[in-house]
Amino acid sequence: MDKQANARVGIIMGSASDLPVMELTAKVLKELEVPFEMTVISAHRTPQRMMAYAASAAERGLKVIVAGAGGAAHLPGMTASVTPLPVIGVPIKSSNSIDGWDSVLSILQMPAGVPVATVALDGGRNAGILAAQVVAAGDEALLGRLAQFKDALKAKVMDSVERVENHPI
């Protein structure tokens, strides 16, 4: 398995075709300096690989798993069924998807006792931010970087206020 030293977040996706969305997760984790690993695991095409990954994730030092899949998206839920770690699900509007709804609902509507924290359709970046927030629960320095990240969001909005208020109609 492709392991970055000291990875705290595991990013998995059902197919290489999910990479354009899931690399958004990787990019924001890199921005926030959170070590991660990333690989392809298909719930339907490589079920044993999925079980092995989920079963070993916690003991390998991961703190949270971000799982993205499209269509009949069983990867996040089945991973959550095996690992005690929190799982963040990313529904993907894939080529086999009915407008993304199949993926959204199959990741969101988990049975009692097996939660998956589901982000928006193609929400890879938010999944990365949420994963960093999970890791930050035990990492004061990362918590500080996330506070700066929030400040930057606020500054961007405040920078736009005058422009919008003075926009000629």
Which residues are near ligand RP5 by CB under 6 A? 14-15, 17-18, 42, 69-71, 92, 94-96
d(C-alpha 87, C-alpha 122), whole Å: 16
Residue-level length of the chain: 169
Find the residue with minimal CB distance to ligand RP5.
Answer: 14
Identify which of residues 69 and 135 has a Cβ nearer to ligand RP5 in the complex. 69
Question: How far is 36 from 13, CA to CA, in rounded Å?
Answer: 14
Question: Taking the complex as a whole, how short is the minimal distance between the CB of residue 19 and ligand RP5, in angstroms?
Answer: 10
Smallest gap from residue 50 Cβ to ligand RP5 (A): 11
8 Å CB contact between 21 and 122: yes
Nearer to ligand RP5, 18 or 37 (CB): 18
In the bound state with ligand RP5, the residue whose beta carbon lies nearer, of 15 and 118, is 15
Rounded to a whole number of angstroms, the minimum distance from the CB of residue 162 to ligand RP5 is 42
Give the shortest CB-107-to-ligand RP5 separation in angstroms.
11
Q: How far apart are CA 31 and CA 107, in angstroms?
A: 27
Nearer to ligand RP5, 63 or 74 (CB): 74
DSSP class of residue 96? T
Q: Which is nearer to ligand RP5, 100 or 128 (CB)?
A: 100
| Cα Rg of the chain, angstroms | 17
Q: E strand or H helix at 47, and its extent? A: helix 47-56
Closest contact distance (angstroms) between CB of 37 and ligand RP5 is: 18
Residue 97, classed as helix, strand or coil, is: coil
Question: Residue 158 and residue 131: Cα distance in Å, rounded?
Answer: 26
